[in-house]
A and B are shown apart, each in its own frame.
Chain A
């Protein structure tokens, strides 16, 4: 069953992307998905699946422009739609892998997406991602003292950032401590690090985004955290202790780093909503099968009106969520019509999308668990895995509260939040 989608807006690439991911997911994820939870630390099952997708299917280099061996989707008129489709389709199989893939692209969006393609850095880092070896990136934002304050750019303007970047000659010297980035715990090869050149100062010109290869002296990653779910996504502490990188590893420069970093928020919100959508669709698929098999009151479960009503609510939520996700994706495709992706308006719309779709997704997963009762909490039925995993999507990037504040600021013109 296909949920709502405006077909005439579908990009030429999407269909093939979806087919590739389906092929990959059926072969390399589904047979091992139930092992992922115990595999949270070693990634003996997760890493081969990720490697297959990123290296063998070639997704790793996809975001770079064609002249650097990439697929150039950052330069296309379908940047948002392709990002959404990618996250949706991977999310059907595992949202942990979806976020791992998404977060590999995430820091690279700062330098690979038009109109801000940094050709020097593309030349530098495309070599890393063109290798026939799994190569992963991470976005090091959150810090111990301020949580997701760093993303709260409009209000705090980088004031709470404590990771410092000091320019010494032709090198940036970075010091600081980050928490929880996806793809850490020894996974990432390259970090995009949010720093400040003047701690305590609320001025976006001090907001600095610098790339740091994980192998440099002074970079230390901690052990991965154990979590309720999302086992395919490793998170840990990272310490930067007098780490030196070339001056040109800064993404753009004063003011521009903060400006384009807002696209990290818009794309993060889109990706989060899209992978949540994928999880909901898989929940629907499982419910379709199980509610046809299990019998209640002498009929298949789905043929009972009370159950059918809940199933209908779930389908309706997915239908509307999919329409919303692709509407926003299409808006990101066309900055010429809807404004720059880093504009306050697009950030607020993205926050609204993430807030709503994640709430809906958690609710859908909760209802699905309840419907199947003791099979709902059974790990062999896969629904409870989605239920545990999707909660994390709702919580990251500042969770509900930061989304609410950004939305209120834009839609109600709040000045003092």
Chain B
């Protein structure tokens, strides 16, 4: 077991966060942990657990105003709550956390816009999943990627695109589409406006059933969020995923820690052999570093910083935390060998899930964006 814990920064402590974290712990113990071995084979388990988390505990209504039955969490309170709750969810099932990440990030991006009512209506009525449709591989009209085409048609906007959402394309009730309307904007679509393909089989994050989608829809202008909303979406998505990865890393540490105590080699527990202890040390370092980074991001989001600065920091944090969580699981697996690779050991699920998150964060492309910010690289000009 990992003996040392990293207490959260003072700025991140709050009664609301603690209360939500307690609820999530209970949810994990009751709805996820007893079924964790079979959760990737039986989507009904994930579905049931998600409904409990999203609706009964109310995670889908964090930012919904109290008047509409939500928690009415403000921007001042949201980052600590996201950090605490997602790092707890990550210990149980990163896939479920991934689906929730898209919902929280999308709804945060809509705060203060005309589209907020649309989101609140969907989040208040029943169990809801939101899918993010990011720019796709294709032409170079947005930082190397292709945005959905948005063309004004009277008082509506016609949205057209084809490709693969980030998450939950098969199940989502709402789609948030990056489109080229007055710069980069977000278009909010009802799930019924989206044509969906077959479920894509993926390495991990099985709770997020995805598919290719085809969108040809006309939406009211009030459902377009302009300006820097897309950056806010990415910032919150990065915070959610970073915190999720922290939880996953902690869980992998717990699993390998238990193993290293019980497994004996040359008459000593594995952890007391230097070659294995060195790996354990690295694993602990990675997990704690990721935790520090996620906390720092959450804290920084409470400060008066520019959108661009926070956006870049969130990207760095998500890259750091996703890689760290994968490395922790990967190196822990090396110590546990076959037992780490076996489904029954549960480590391999964290390994697959965190690798999937790392891949979805588009590692190389993210580095180019950071180069643009910190070195003024002119990558997308001309």
Interface residues of A (CB under 8 A from B): 34, 142, 145-149, 179-180, 225-230, 235, 294-299, 301, 304, 306-307, 310, 362, 366, 369-380, 384, 387-388, 391-392, 394-396, 398-401, 404-405
Kindly state the separation between the CA atoms of A372 and B365 in the bound complex, as whole angstroms. 11
What are the 4 tightest A-B residue pairs by CB atom distance, in nearest-first order? A298-B140, A379-B201, A228-B348, A226-B343
Instruction: Among A298, A366, A384, A405, point to the contact of B202 (Cβ < 8 A).
Output: A384
Interface residues of B (CB under 8 A from A): 137-140, 144-145, 164, 166, 200-205, 210, 263-265, 275-276, 279, 330, 333-335, 337-338, 340-344, 348, 351-352, 355-356, 358-360, 362-365, 367-368, 379-380
Using CB atoms, name the residue of chain B closest to A38: B201
Q: B279 to chain A: which residues have CB within 8 Å?
A: 401
Kindly state the separation between the CA atoms of A77 and B348 in the bound complex, as whole angstroms. 42
Instruction: Among B139, B204, B344, point to the contact of A226 (Cβ < 8 A).
Output: B344
> CB distance B202 to A395 under 8 Å?
no
Kindly state the separation between the CA atoms of A102 and B380 in the bound complex, as whole angstroms. 50
Instruction: Among A295, A384, A401, point to the contact of B137 (Cβ < 8 A).
Output: A295
Q: B144 to chain A: which residues have CB within 8 Å?
A: 296-297, 304
> CB distance B367 to A378 under 8 Å?
no
User: Nearest chain A CB to B258's CB is how many angstroms away?
Assistant: 16
Kindly state the separation between the CA atoms of A299 and B146 in the bound complex, as whole angstroms. 12
Q: B343 to chain A: which residues have CB within 8 Å?
A: 225-228
> CB distance B201 to A228 under 8 Å?
no
Q: B330 to chain A: which residues have CB within 8 Å?
A: 362, 391
Kindly state the separation between the CA atoms of A86 and B341 in the bound complex, as whole angstroms. 26
Instruction: Among A369, A379, A401, point to the contact of B276 (Cβ < 8 A).
Output: A401
CB contact under 8 A between A371 and B364, given known A147-B265, A294-B137, A380-B201 = yes
Q: A391 to chain B: which residues have CB within 8 Å?
A: 330, 333, 341, 351
Interface centre among A148, A392, A401, A404 (most CB of B within 10 A): A401
By secondary structure, the A interface counts as helix
Kindly state the separation between the CA atoms of A301 and B139 in the bound complex, as whole angstroms. 11
CB contact under 8 A between A369 and B337, given known A296-B137, A298-B140 = no
Kindly state the separation between the CA atoms of A362 and B275 in the bound complex, as whole angstroms. 20
Instruction: List 24 interface pairs A-B (beta carbons < 8 Å), by A numbering.
Output: A146-B265, A147-B265, A225-B344, A227-B341, A227-B342, A228-B342, A228-B348, A296-B140, A296-B145, A297-B380, A362-B330, A371-B364, A374-B166, A375-B164, A377-B203, A378-B201, A379-B200, A391-B330, A395-B341, A396-B338, A400-B334, A401-B276, A401-B334, A405-B275
> CB distance B359 to A228 under 8 Å?
no
User: Nearest chain A CB to B99's CB is how many angstroms away?
Assistant: 15
> CB distance A147 to B337 under 8 Å?
yes
> CB distance A380 to B200 under 8 Å?
yes
User: Nearest chain A CB to B155's CB is how many angstroms away?
Assistant: 33
Kindly state the separation between the CA atoms of A96 and B210 in the bound complex, as whole angstroms. 27
